[in-house]
Structure 1
């Protein structure tokens, strides 16, 4: 079986209880050179549990209230369910409780993650090179849960001298098919391999992997291997495990369910300047699917959404609406200068690459003998239409699409119905401009919810 790809992994015994100020590299060197052990060699990779680094670096803090420690380490709540919080910590890691650990530490204290796990890994690597003369890789590990998967595993939160990612994009598989999305998290795979022998409660915080020297880079080498460089890396500084943290812009699962809803509501801001980027009709239809889940009276479905996907249909509608508006303003006695200024303010719809006209239908409404009850019946349907449009706007924000809900079609409903060929009982309820925001909406002062609440 010689010649087949293989590696060995073993836990390193003899690491004593770590205390503040201990030199982890010296402790590892001493343990690795004990009698009966294979020692360390060039190309080995060490997996070092973050807890011993936290202890050595004085990251043990008095905290009778663990929640307060989590608050101090967290920068963003990703998801919350009961007392459990998944948060992004100051290192950019998304994990339970910000990595604050109350195990393997005296009562009344908690362990925080190392201040800079990549720097910790570099110190260990340098220390082992100086002490034993070996070029090894170092991976600092911590325990993570994972979306969609039960159980825990160790992952890399710090690294030095290791190709943390193996970028295979641009290569081909065994059948010659191009690889367009394959980036292997090598450092995480190493961390998981080491965890198999370290164990969670065995008092073995360090593991050694031998036989994978190709993942260890020379001093000053790069931490990411690419398909186009033959595995030699691209040169430059060691990137460390920070390269494993996905950028926010590329993270499709950045929030938990309730947090995603709240962020989408917050993101729903009126956009008045759009880029020329085309709008995905599928995204708009998904937003319509969210819209029609709104509450409505009598189990009715009072919403209809007219999607103006062609430039011709948008221009034809907006030209007809403009002419009707100008005629109304002239009839109201406005000067030509005032009319021109008002028409320019309404140009937000012309700047959008996509328009939607939400309509109200009264199918299923009740008719009563007196006008008061009939007016209330219509009000119920109008409220339901507004709820549907709000759902629609929030869902668009969740698709990272900007919008502006403009009331103009309500002032010329006959014109809109005629231009768009709509049934006589469809009432246009404004128009929604849809597109990607050209500039971020200006900041808005937070509103105190208590100012809008009355309790009886």
Structure 2
């Protein structure tokens, strides 16, 4: 098979035949050298991870494949039925953590190589010793991809290969600057090899010739192709996003000076108003205090009202000053949001017990909306703290913010970029909070 490479010259890719069944302890470099002794400098070997795992003894007893997947999983990204997309110990996000129950004896499963980059280096060095050639080696595995049907091979390990081709700073054929183009060369090589290896043809190794410019003497391995959490815009999968509400969202009380994207806050409000509510009502209103002047006006008015209340209660001035300082989280945040409850659409029963229950339903619905809001902020990588203080001086808040009389402030949410990583939350056993009847 041939095609045009990135240099404009042709290349060839072919599968290597004649390889025996690989067993634990086999020297893959020697097996490949015996099957393809004509390897030349600048060739790239594409080696299916399955035979690497077999040679490295990564076959384990596992009557229950799910237990093996659990053992290899760092976090669950998404789940549908028995299918799980997870991050595994190698940092790869893939189905079933790469645990394979095919082409392996009954009652066993095949795990991915523990260090695929080290595996690729071992094969490259072995081929240099056996044949005296400088080649690149890519260890491949099969991946599905978000938003795309079908499977393809990608690089999970590499040695002697420029895995990423950074074209930023150059120009295209029309002279336009390239500002975001980084080509996943190793993945392209892996996919090219899969075209001739196939999924069921028992040809686990392929060779690419004619792309010697991608073969290098030093390399960073395929690990650099794994996108870090900070740069991963899609890190929160379905399962993880649900768990975020109870396990990952934190109350953040210290923020940086970095401005908050108003669009992010509005997207969080859009999530908030999907919460359930009684009688098909919409009991939520969110007042966004995005200017420093509006925040100062509100917080000064609340502070003065709070001090007056504490003095009426007979609190000493030292205690008053200490309590007021606790409200600094709202003053220090670059954005402040005041969620409000409105009772539009509520029913009046003329019975105190039922009327009280009606209001409680609306309060619960507002709380659900605020929880949605907090979780959505976390998804935007923003920290937040929901503080109850506006509930104790609602008239003052309504006056300072010029709100309608029927808007009841339900606390205030400080929003900003966390100044430091939140501390780990103490573990809570769900069973301690469950009653079964």
Question: Is residue 2:11 matched to residue 1:11?
Answer: no
Question: Is residue 2:191 matched to residue 1:200?
Answer: no
Contact 2:78 2:237 in 1 (8 A): yes
Question: Is residue 2:338 matched to residue 1:357?
Answer: yes
How far apart are the structure 2 equivalents of 1:206 and 1:442?
47
| Cα distance per residue 1:410-429 (max 9 Å; x no partner) | 11111111111111111111
How does 1:62-211 map onto structure 2 within 5 Å? 62-211=61-210
Contact 2:275 2:368 in 1 (8 A): yes
Q: Which moved more, 1:68-77 or 1:134-143?
A: 68-77
CA displacement at 1:4 relative to structure 2: 4.9
State the secondary structure of the residue aligned to 1:7.
strand
| Cα distance per residue 1:329-365 (max 9 Å; x no partner) | 1111111111111111121111111000111111111
Structure 2 alignment gaps of length 5 or more: none
| Cα distance per residue 1:62-105 (max 9 Å; x no partner) | 22221222122222211111111111111111111111111112
Q: Which moved more, 1:367-376 or 1:239-248?
A: 367-376
Contact 1:265 1:397 in 2 (8 A): no
Question: Is residue 2:366 matched to residue 1:367?
Answer: no
Q: Which moved more, 1:52-61 or 1:135-144?
A: 52-61
2:254: which partner in 1? 273
Question: Is residue 2:399 matched to residue 1:414?
Answer: no
How far apart are the structure 2 equivalents of 1:63 and 1:448?
28
1:284: which partner in 2? 265
Question: Is residue 2:375 matched to residue 1:394?
Answer: yes
How far apart are the structure 2 equivalents of 1:380 and 1:202?
63
CA displacement at 1:203 relative to structure 2: 1.6
1:226: which partner in 2? none
Q: Which moved more, 1:256-265 or 1:293-302?
A: 256-265
Structure 1 alignment gaps of length 5 or more: 34-38, 222-237
CA displacement at 1:373 relative to structure 2: 2.2
Runs of 4+ in 1 over 4 A off after TM superposition: 1-4
How far apart are the structure 2 equivalents of 1:111 and 1:369?
69
| Cα distance per residue 1:139-174 (max 9 Å; x no partner) | 111111111111111111111110000011111111
Q: Which residue of 362, 369, 373 corresponds with 1:381?
A: 362
State the secondary structure of the residue aligned to 1:47.
strand
How far apart are the structure 2 equivalents of 1:371 and 1:86?
52
How far apart are the structure 1 equivalents of 2:171 and 2:245?
39
Q: Which residue of 309, 333, 340 corresponds with 1:328?
A: 309
RMSD: 1.6
How far apart are the structure 1 equivalents of 2:88 and 2:422?
27
Contact 2:143 2:152 in 1 (8 A): yes
CA displacement at 1:264 relative to structure 2: 4.5
1:229: which partner in 2? none
1:303: which partner in 2? 284
1:40: which partner in 2? 39
State the secondary structure of the residue aligned to 2:143.
strand
How far apart are the structure 2 equivalents of 1:200 and 1:268?
42
Q: Which moved more, 1:263-272 or 1:376-385?
A: 263-272
| Cα distance per residue 1:107-144 (max 9 Å; x no partner) | 22211111211111111111111111111111111111
How far apart are the structure 2 equivalents of 1:201 and 1:441?
48
Q: TM-score, normalising length from structure 1? A: 0.92
State the secondary structure of the residue aligned to 2:123.
helix
How far apart are the structure 2 equivalents of 1:268 and 1:110?
36
How far apart are the structure 2 equivalents of 1:134 and 1:329?
83
How far apart are the structure 2 equivalents of 1:31 and 1:449?
57
CA displacement at 1:249 relative to structure 2: 1.1
State the secondary structure of the residue aligned to 2:70.
helix
